[in-house]
Structure 1
Amino acid sequence: MSNHIDTLDRTSDWSGVRVVVAGFGVSGFAAADNLLFLGAQVTALDETTSEEKAEKAQLLETLGATIRLEPGATAVLPDDVDLVVTSPGWRPSAPLLAQAVERGIPVWGEVELAWRLRDPDAAAPWLAVTGTNGKTTTVQMLESILRAAGLRAVAVGNVGLPIVEAVMDPEPYDVLAVELSSFQLHYTHSMSAESAVVLNVAEDHLDWYDGPDGMRDYAADKARIYERVQRACVYNLADPATREMVREADVVEGARAVGFTLGTPSSGDVGLVEDLLVDRAFIEERASSAAELCTLADLASPAPHFVANALAAAALARAHGVSQQAVRDGLRAFRPDGHRIAHVAEADGVTWIDDSKATNPHAAQSSLAAFEPVVWVAGGLAKGARFDDLVVAVRDRLRGVVLLGRDRQVVADALSRHAPDVPVIDVGDDETGDPMGRVVDAAAGLARSGDTVLLAPGCASMDMFTNYGARGDAFAAAVHRRIADHT
């Protein structure tokens, strides 16, 4: 059956194809729902349930699916299976997936399934974005630019709409802005994006890529986004790893390499000239001139990583043929989601910034580079990451550091090695009382007029908070309480 599975697409006869969907979250439900629509025999398995999952399970069961939501449901792969479709985040070592590989059963991710289910008569091109940090901001910027150009476009994938839902929409999209995590790319085999970018590559998810070659495997999965690219491989001139990925990629003949830089761009790249974002890649006279895209003042933030994301989004849009004006209008209209370098308050000369979305060291370093002097609030779940390079890069900016969370000692050790003179206050990981209140009080004690207190934890949040949003909300609430109490 596996040879037949390799040829399955939107036009195939799916009746009799037995599919196990691993995971019943947002993407798992979308996959199961659309596979049922195509006529496949679907079994969905998940270790957890909730009221929402139970309702969706009941809906699909009335349509003929088998749904099991309980501890142990994913321990054993059923006997009669032709294909496994896995949700993002499932490690290859998960019993269900390992058993599939052992039995020679193909394993697809939702991205692979979506690529195959595109309408052959109206297949929207994919503009694909990955990277350790900045993916969501960049893909949302890209969506804003494409819509400013009058295109029916939507951000999909790791953010927004599940890709399967987008490709199966009865009203076709003109183009899709696709955010892809390394997990999603790991299970993707045939995607051919019109253009793609790897924004950056730094340590992250080393709890998922936990072997001796974990970092190399992580980067290799990121690099898969460039395979079979049709028009432009956009890369980060400041990150040699991304250039090497482009050099190694097997692309469609004619595809170009386009770099983005916070410096003056060479011919063939996009970058900055004083306060202008400019294009020297997608204009006829690129050897001798540059086309203005927008100004720094048009952007919601002048932070270096935010500007880099804007340049990457602009490059993908320009590769698709979008006008300079649409790039400007789209970037001007874009505002980032909450908890990304969000201004919380200013009082007594101290600015309070919430960048709770900075959940790994690379993201925290990018955020810290935008402010000086800084009282840095850090800690949480480190996910196997190290903080030495970050501390070396930012130690001269630090007024002090406030640490919280389970793995705070990892950050503390890096500070003691590389910035021993920087004051550090450890507020612990006790969730009782008001932990973020303790953080804010400690930070206020370190800060002086003209300083920024920056929540950029460099760690995930789930040790003490529901998610990074809840952590950022707690920080903002504690800041406002303190200001109210001291006025």
Structure 2
Amino acid sequence: MRGKVLVAGAGVSGRGCVRVLHELGIDTTVADGNADARQSMEAQFGVDTLSPAEALQATGDFDLVVTSPGWRPDTPLLVGFAQADREVIGDVELAYRLDRAGVFGAPRKWLVVTGTNGKTTTTGMLAQIMQVDAQRTGRRALAVGNIGTSPFDALRATPRVEVLAVELSSFQLHWSSQLRPAVGVLLNLAEDHIDWHGSFDAYARAKAKVLAGQVAVYGRDDSRVCHYVELAKEHGQLVSHLYSFGAGEPGPGQVGIAGQALVAEDLETPGRVKLGPIEGIEPPGRAGALDAAAAAAVAALAGAAPESIDQGLHAFTVAGHRGAIVHRHAGVDFIDNSKATNPHAADAALRGLDSVVWVAGGQLKGADVHRLIASHAGQIKAAVVLGIDRHLIAQALQELAPHVPVEVIDSTDPQEAMDAAVSFALHHAVAGDTVLLAPAAASLDMYSGMGERGDMFAHAARRLDH
């Protein structure tokens, strides 16, 4: 890498980039609006720093800009450099380019996962599979990106890591141009981060960049994903070998579910190959099965043995707040899917459950829950809503599922509200039912984050035994 580099942002991402560039002896300057952050960078790395306004006056001094993934494309600094015909990339793209250039030894195998929902679970499953398979191949694997280790730390790890299971957001993919995964998978698409991207189309096109590598996998049950796969084909952007995963019986080049087992057809080997039973995979239900199918497809195409896929999936334990059973009381399962912060994620959480007492609510941020409720009205036995947009969800339930008893919790005390929600849920649930926290909404109106919301749900459920 030649020339001068401007790192935009002095946060965690920017600091990681500066550390690597500094170690490589690359002339680096940092731009950030926070004077204290700039001073910290100067003291730690001895680099020059600029305010964004100062950097805009010096566009001709730099050959490349590396931006934090949180900086929006319409940020004046980034707009100014783009107009000056200077390339702007993200931290992941920088790591990928340095890896391809052999800076850290022979290039690694990048297995990249993205989608609106299920990224973390699928990436965790994939990493677990590849770690099991490493016992056979000796090729150490690691979860990287928004889950686990930063790409730079993984590339410099000792002992050496050969396989990177990488979870990427739409932000990171937006700022990537040369990224070509060994295998990339696009799980699903729904409206998200529109304020950052400007439109759903821009968001989806950023996500679809994951398909530009050697081998691509997509969720064939998602009509929006299929649409963008076809667009990529039409515009000649899809040069990879294309495979898919889904919930039904697989056809050629597909992974699916047949006879309660994950099955691959004509992937790495001709014919059907059983990859293991669905039973026992976390999280339970359709969403977990789809994540497992996606992880299995990527792993198989990356060379993992069927027995490694089976063992890895069944050794995997779901990350917190993503569909784990957190308590069982009187035959009723309490499932924490607090991570379901939009209707699309809540839809995935509800699928495959027969009789549900639904705990929902929070900040909808303009999202519409009508389609979600219409799709699952037959499964919802009762519902309890809390949070700032509780009345919008209650109204939609009244319109589309008038048979469903609905409790509106007006308390704004976080634990008190969740205790009341769980108490109502237990009153309506019987053995065999599921009490599901899948809010379809963000949490910051009442909680410090979706983690605290899920923890309080689990705490309230466990107190039922006392």
Alpha-carbon deviations, 1:141-175, whole Å to 9, x = none?
Answer: 11111111112111111211122332344654212
> Once superposed, what is the RMSD of the aligned Cα atoms?
2.6
Question: Relative to structure 1, is the Cα distance of residues 382 and 87 closer, same or farther in structure 2, using a 3 angstrom cutoff?
Answer: farther
* 1:272 maps to which of 257, 265, 270: 257
CA distance in 2, matches of 1:225, 1:328: 25
Alpha-carbon separation, structure 1, partners of 2:53 and 2:454: 36
Instruction: Select 1:184's aligned residue among 162, 172, 175.
Output: 172
Distance change (3 Å), C-alpha of 1:394 and 1:152? same
| 1:334 to 2:319 alignment | no
For 1:112, the equivalent position in structure 2 comes to: 93
Return the match for 1:79 from 57, 61, 84. Answer: 57
SS in 1 for 2:363: coil
Q: Any residues of structure 2 matched to 1:236-275 within 5 Å, and which?
A: 236-247=219-230, 248-249=232-233, 250=236, 255-275=240-260
> Of the candidates 339, 344, 348, which is equivalent to residue 362 of structure 1?
344
2:427 corresponds to 1:445: yes
SS of alignment partner, residue 196 of structure 2: coil
Aligned partner of residue 20 in structure 1, secondary structure: strand
Contact 1:108 1:187 in 2 (8 A): yes
**Separation of aligned partners in 2, 1:252 and 1:123:** 23
Task: Report the Cα offset of residue 358 of structure 1.
Answer: 1.2
Q: Deviations over 1:90-125 (max 9, x none)?
A: 322234333433444322111211111114251102
Counterpart mapping for 1:14-163 below 5 A:
14=3, 17-25=4-12, 27-39=13-25, 40-45=27-32, 58=40, 61-66=43-48, 77-81=55-59, 82=62, 83-118=64-99, 119-120=101-102, 121-150=105-134, 151-163=139-151
Match of 2:326 among 344, 358, 363: 344
User: Conserved in 2, the CA contact under 8 Å of 1:400 and 1:423?
Assistant: yes
How does 1:404-423 map onto structure 2 within 5 Å? 404-423=386-405
Matched, 1:221 2:209: no
Can you list the C-alpha shifts for 1:337-387, whole angstroms capped at 9, x where unaligned? 121212122223432211111111111111111322111111122233221
AA matched with 1:219: A
Partner AA of 1:97 in structure 2: L
* Secondary structure in 2 matching 1:337: coil
- List runs of 5+ in structure 1 lacking aligned partners: 1-11
Q: Which has the higher helix share?
A: 2
- Aligned equivalents of 1:47, 1:58: Cα separation in 2: 10
Say which is worse superposed, 426-435 or 301-310, in terms of deviation: 426-435
Counterpart for residue 208 of structure 1: 196
Q: What is the aligned partner in structure 1 of residue 216 from structure 2?
A: 233
Preserved contact between residue 403 and residue 427 of structure 1 (Cα < 8 Å): yes
Q: TM-score, normalised by structure 1?
A: 0.85
Q: Deviations over 1:225-248 (max 9, x none)?
A: 112x11x21111211332333331
Q: Is the 8 A contact 2:210 2:216 kept in 1?
A: no
- The structural deviation recorded for 1:207 is 3.6
Return the alpha-carbon distance in structure 1 between the equivalents of residues 270 and 432 of structure 2.
45
Q: Residue 302 of structure 2 aligns with which residue?
A: 320
Instruction: Please say if residues 211 and 238 of structure 2, whose CA atoms lie closer than 8 Å, have aligned partners that are also in contact.
Output: no
CA shift for structure 1 position 266? 0.8
Task: Tell me the CA shift for residue 453 of structure 1.
Answer: 1.2
Identity within the alignment, %: 38
State whether residues 378 and 459 of structure 1, in contact with CA within 8 Å, keep that contact through their aligned partners in structure 2.
yes
Q: Compared with structure 1, are the counterparts of its residues 77 and 458 closer, same or farther at alpha carbon in structure 2 (3 Å cutoff)?
A: farther
1:283-322 aligned at under 5 Å gives the runs 283-286=268-271, 290-322=272-304
* SS of residue in 2 equivalent to 1:428: coil
Q: Secondary structure at the match of 1:144?
A: helix
Out of 87-96 and 360-369, give the one that drifted further: 87-96
Letter in 2 for 1:313: A
Structure 2 regions of 5+ residues with no counterpart?
none
Q: Distance in 2 between matches of 1:302 and 1:182?
A: 27
